[in-house]
Amino acid sequence: MFAFLEPYYSGSHKYFADGFIKCFPEQIQLFVLQGRHWKWRMHGSAVTFAGMIEKSGEKFDTIVASSLTDTALLKSLVLPKMPETRFVTYFHENQLAYPWSEDDREPSKTDMHYSFINFTSALVSDTALFNSEFNRESFFTALEGFLRSFPDHRLTGRIDGIYKKSKVLYPGVNMIPKSETAKGNVLRILWNHRWEYDKDPETFFGTMFRLKEAGINFQLVVAGEEKSTSPGIFEVAREKLKNEIISFGYVEKYDDYKSLIAGCDILPVTSKHEFFGISVLEAASAGVIPVLPKRLSYPEIFPQDKFAGLFYEDGKLSDFIKNFAENPDFSLRNEVSERASLFDWNHFKQKAVELFFL
């Protein structure tokens, strides 16, 4: 029996936790906190989870905590009562490589503490799991410089030991069936990411505005998880692209979401950060062609030796989509769907069994 702790039960964190439990319903007990106040979760969730574990009365062989948990603090509270327990931290993201919002006004010295929590969590874990090779490498690439920024006793000698116990475990992705209905004659463009700054909606919608000004005929589906503080560009786009929009806003019913996604043609991606790419792979599984920057996790998820035609140069997204609209090429539709299928929950379960149960 082992426990999975998710202090930010929302969005991709919730998606992963729910999928993990479905893979091993008899072996895992899930403990969660609401997906809000992420900084407070990093500081305080370990104490809350330690109390929840004690109250459960269970003795867990393994505790897996996602990366917004202070695993070092958690271990100090739990280990005296469960000395044989193995501790694993699962990094959905890492704070060393996460882009900071311009709206975040906390002093930089305070901000450094969140990166340090990630460091100590990895340090005390028996295994540090990352959701992509890009996530892992960005963590270790930044870690030495981060530790060297401190005045003395810089702890860089610990990095090799952490690296040796680190592994990549891709999350599972829900597969969306391809549409049985023939595609329309008008290019249908998709946005299905979170409505937040790190997905760079300004660049995405700026591209849509330029396409409209250039006389390109297209339709637009805007889905994804809305936030209470979503960037203002979404409301601007709702008005400026009202004649192109066929759906705008979060889709409550998952079956409706799947149908909407499967009816789209291309998914232009403008993200400033992506440690994996669940929304991209969901769309790709349905045969939607992703249009990707040559950075972040995307070259790992869609290797360029086979999928070079999916990638655009920075600053050239408008030209890429304009050319695609004028000369549509859907020859990669089946290939991207097949590639996405390598990340389904069955593949995840096989890898998880090797890590946790063998």
- Residue boundaries of the structural domains of the chain: 2-172+344-356, 187-341
Q: What three-state secondary structure class fits 212?
A: helix
Position 108 pLDDT exceeds 60? no
- Per-residue pLDDT, 109: 46
Beta strands 127-130 and 187-191: pairing type? unpaired
Position 127 pLDDT exceeds 60? yes
The shares of helix, strand and coil residues in the chain, as percent rounded to the nearest 5, are: 45, 15, 35
Local confidence band at 309 (pLDDT 50, 70, 90 cut-offs): very high
For 252-291, write each residue's pLDDT tens digit. 999 999 999 999 999 999 999 899 999 999 999 999 999 9
CATH 3.40.50.2000: does it fit domain 2-172+344-356?
yes
**Which strand (E) or helix (H) includes residue 6?**
strand 2-9
Local confidence band at 107 (pLDDT 50, 70, 90 cut-offs): very low
Query: Cβ distance 254 to 193 under 8 Å?
Result: no
Please report the beta strands in 200-337, taking only residues with DSSP state E, as ranges in sequence order: 218-222, 245-248, 266-268, 289-293, 311-312
CATH dotted code for 187-341 = 3.40.50.2000
Span 20-43, average pLDDT = 96
Backbone angles phi, psi at 48, to 5 degrees: -60, -45
Across the chain, what does the average pLDDT equal? 94
pTM surpassing 0.85?
Answer: yes
- Per-residue pLDDT, 185: 85
Query: Cβ distance 55 to 47 under 8 Å?
Result: no
Q: Lowest-confidence range among 176-190, 194-208, 290-304?
A: 176-190
187-341 shares the fold of 2-172+344-356 = yes
Local confidence band at 167 (pLDDT 50, 70, 90 cut-offs): very high
Cβ count near 82 (within 10 Å): 17
- Per-residue pLDDT, 193: 95
Local confidence band at 182 (pLDDT 50, 70, 90 cut-offs): low
